Structure 1
Amino acid sequence: MSERTSWQRIARRIRVPLGFVFAAVFLWLARPTGKTMLLSLLLVIPGVWLRAYAAGYVRKNAELTFTGPYAYTRNPLYLGSMLIAFGFAAAAGSWVILIALAALFAVIYIPTIQSEEGYLRQQFAGFDEYAAKVPRLLPRLTPASFPADQNASLGRFSWGQWQHHREYNALMGAGAIYLALAVRLFLNHHGVTGGPR
């Protein structure tokens, strides 16, 4: 097993626990203002929406999804996560958080995406054709088109799939972080602060 493959596996396993650690550090370093919290909505709302939209289309490990947001980007769930995360970095008003977040995505999510693409390439014969038409992360402006028979489910959005993937957790998580930032803002405003100045 190569070092690259080994790191890809490790990155996939640690990304969720590392996210919780990062969240704790984030709340400690955060210095939100009303303005930064409002501006963050410009990224967080589209990010939550994109994750929900993508979750209603994807049938993980069952088929290669070509439709919905998957016609624009191969990784709409990760793109949505990035929008949410960078939105909260903006809300925190901290350059340290922004730089740490960019490093975290580079070290963890790039190898994770590469590992998942290797799996998809092995499992689905049409992946290379799909990858040639649809960018890895940053979306194309118009949807890529594929023959209808390439997607067994015809690619319609399903609330059942959205529930199956428990994507409501992203919405609840975003709400919880905004609540924590609001508490932090209140404490900062009333002189009850912690963490670095």
Structure 2
Amino acid sequence: MSRHKAREVRHESTPEERAPIERDSLALWARRLRVPLGILLAGLFLVLARPSWTALAIGGAVSFSGLLIRGWSAGHIVKNDRLATGGPYAYTRNPLYFGSFVLAFGLAAAAHWAFGLAVISFWWIVYGPVIADERKSIRSLFPHSYPEWERNVPAFLPRLTPWRPKGAETSSFSLERYLGHKEWQAALGYAAVVGWLALRASGQF
């Protein structure tokens, strides 16, 4: 068995075996609202941000750690084919969402503490229901291994040590997966926002 066909990332059910998933109405509304709300927050952020150099340095570093978490996660996941529980998925079941939160919070808090609170509220209102709804779909796709993973790994805030099920092989980061998921676009976005905040901090705009 190869490293990528480890127990923690195996395919478990066919489309014919999967029961229909009842969509949560709150999650449906959250999905509809996240784009317009996100655009509104981003617009206010870009116009009103007035960071200090100290705040930008601290917030930028926090945000960069979120970018690394996202990249690490993208290099492990194989969507809908195998359940990824290695790498960052041994710490949290939703490392992409967690990384995105850290990425957004760091930049927002650098601009102003009020934007940091806005990001926390946005994530709780919008992504809380989405994560809960996606749990149903993933559990349906991987009915055998998901329950054990769920019992041992938190949904959002990471555990301090990685969960390592007995007898499971560890998966490794794949640059091909990282590029395939186009995660480099997040890096470009991060650089653009940090550049904009630097211009705002210098008083040029």
TM range, smaller chain = 0.7 to 0.9
- Partner residue of 1:10? 29
- Partner residue of 1:37? 56
Within the candidate set 85, 107, 113, 2:104 is matched to 85
Pairwise mapping of residues 156-175 of structure 1 onto structure 2 (< 5 A)?
156-175=172-191
- Is 1:178 the equivalent of 2:194? yes
Distance 1:68 1:16, change over 3 A: farther
Q: After the TM superposition, which segments of 4 or more aligned residues of structure 1 sit over 3 Å from their partners?
A: none
Pairwise mapping of residues 115-134 of structure 1 onto structure 2 (< 5 A)?
115-125=133-143, 126-134=145-153
Decide which moves more: 116-125 or 8-17: 8-17
Shift of 1:160: 0.8
- Partner residue of 2:66? 47
Query: What is the identity, as a one-letter code, of the residue corresponding to 2:39?
Result: F
- Partner residue of 2:90? 71
Do 1:39 and 1:90's aligned partners in 2 also have CA atoms closer than 8 Å?
no
Do 1:90 and 1:98's aligned partners in 2 also have CA atoms closer than 8 Å?
yes
Shift of 1:89: 1.7
Query: What is the identity, as a one-letter code, of the residue corresponding to 1:99?
Result: L
- Partner residue of 1:107? 125
Shift of 1:59: 0.7
Structure 2 residues not aligned, in runs of 5+: 1-22
Do 1:54 and 1:76's aligned partners in 2 also have CA atoms closer than 8 Å?
yes
What CA RMSD, in Å, does the superposition of the two structures yield over aligned residues? 1.9
Shift of 1:144: 0.8
Shift of 1:90: 2.0
Query: What is the identity, as a one-letter code, of the residue corresponding to 1:182?
Result: A
For 1:29-83, what per-residue CA distance to the aligned partner results, in whole angstroms no more than 9, with x for missing partners? 2111111111113311211111000100011111111100101111111111111
Shift of 1:10: 2.7
CA separation in 2, counterparts of 1:51 and 1:177?
17
Do 1:29 and 1:97's aligned partners in 2 also have CA atoms closer than 8 Å?
no
CA separation in 1, counterparts of 2:161 and 2:117?
31
TM-score (norm 2): 0.82
How many residue pairs are counted as aligned between the two chains?
182
CA separation in 2, counterparts of 1:63 and 1:13?
28
Do 1:48 and 1:84's aligned partners in 2 also have CA atoms closer than 8 Å?
yes
Structure 1 residues not aligned, in runs of 5+: 193-197
Distance 1:155 1:12, change over 3 A: farther
